[in-house]
Amino acid sequence: MSETKLQLVIEDIEARQEELISLTKKLIAYETPAPPARNTAEAQGFVENYLQEMNFAADRWDVYPNDPNVVGTKQGTDSAHFQSLIVNGHMDVAEVRPEENWEYAPFEAVEKDGRLIGRGAADMKGGLAASLFVLRLFHEHGIELPGDLIFQSVIGEEVGEAGTLQCCKKGYTADYAVVVDTSNLHIQGQGGVITGWVTIKDPNTYHDANRRQMIHAGGGMAQGASAIEKMVVMIESLQTLERHWAVSKHYPGYPPGTNTINPAVIEGGRHAAFIADECRLWITVHFYPDESYETVSREIEEHLLHAANADPWLRENPPHFTWGGESMIEERGEVFPAFEVDPLHGGTETLKQSYQEVLKETPVLDVSPTVTDGGWLAEAGIPTALFGPGELSEAHAVNESVAIQELLDFSKVMADFMYHWCHTKK
């Protein structure tokens, strides 16, 4: 009987696609760009009410003012013996600047040529809306799952404010997790990202008229240096390490050299009458799924300290390092842990089988070229996969869009997967 109900749900997804499109438009209409952030409360309130209408126990708390997480839990009928699932997505979307040339208002979604256009359509309100729509259909058809189902609508992913990390810290866990972010319906793992600050500081301060004595023979001020010029030594050393990584490290599915060290921002000096006594370099590091941000940052530190030791002034004034952070807005730093998808895990096998059964195609299992919150779930010990609608080329783009057929296909696969995974015995 329950399998019959599942088939009715899948048929309803096609027959009631206008409801799915309307729900996606509704979420897009909430203006939740980050930056500036602090603007998701109304949208999250809608999700909270939506979940409560389907008898989910809703937990809502502020991660930042006006930016709450919402977690809905539907306890299974036999939780002790059947597998549990987390479905995770973020409510914030990429920023929209006034000078961007949108064909339509970015928060008033429009259907055109089989696509839905609006900020967040691909990244990732389409995935959120489709997942919620499946839960609605389960509720309407009276489908009760034996395993627990946890739906997480989080904030801050676009600016490294890992709402998902806060869910993990609150103790939310499951036997498997699917992050329904942009993956073009590929089942994916991902590399990781960490930002860091390299700081060089002269303990002394000098008038710029002392520069001749610092750089010419017989000047007698070997103890002084420009922190900006010394940072050049660090940048060149980072480029050497980056090139070494490109030839010494690899991971299936990534082009060589995907692991990069980007000198993104440099700050330094007081004003033109001073020798620069401090310089700060903000770097962004991309690393592979089989690496951790702890080991990668330690490798960079060791390399730069060796380079500093070869410089007479830096040997006495070595660089200092600050890594990561929980907000690009509040702390100017972020971390996205990497994770690998275990192709032999039961959850992955079930997802692949659902894809095959529903779409009559073999799913693609590969790696994302970007990062998502999935790394935090994996780091918490939860086997995780990235699987969602939308092409990465559309994420953050002007006139961002998602194919309506892909929303439908995703919804059908997720309905089949949720049902069968939560009917799988532990």
92 annotated active-site: yes
Question: Catalytic pick from 157, 379, 409, 416?
Answer: 157
DSSP-derived secondary structure for 355-375: HHHHHSSPPPEEEESS--THH
Q: Tally the C-alpha atoms within 13 A of residue 217's C-alpha that lie toward its C-beta.
A: 0
Cβ neighbours for 238, distance < 8 A, ≥ 6 positions apart: 261, 263, 283, 300, 303, 304
Cβ–Cβ < 8 Å for 418, 10: no
Contact 6, 416 (CB under 8 A): yes
> For the chain, what's the residue count?
426
**Is residue 42 annotated as a catalytic residue, yes or no?**
no
Q: Give 371-414 as a DSSP string.
A: --THHHHHHTT--EEE--SS-GGGTT-TT-EEEHHHHHHHHHHH
Other C-beta atoms closer than 10 Å to the C-beta of 199 total 17
Q: Of the listed 92, 175, 400, 416, which one is catalytic?
A: 92
Distance of alpha carbon 356 from alpha carbon 248, whole angstroms = 37
CA distance 283 to 306: 18
- Paired tokens of 88: 């995770």
Q: Which residues are catalytic?
A: 92, 157
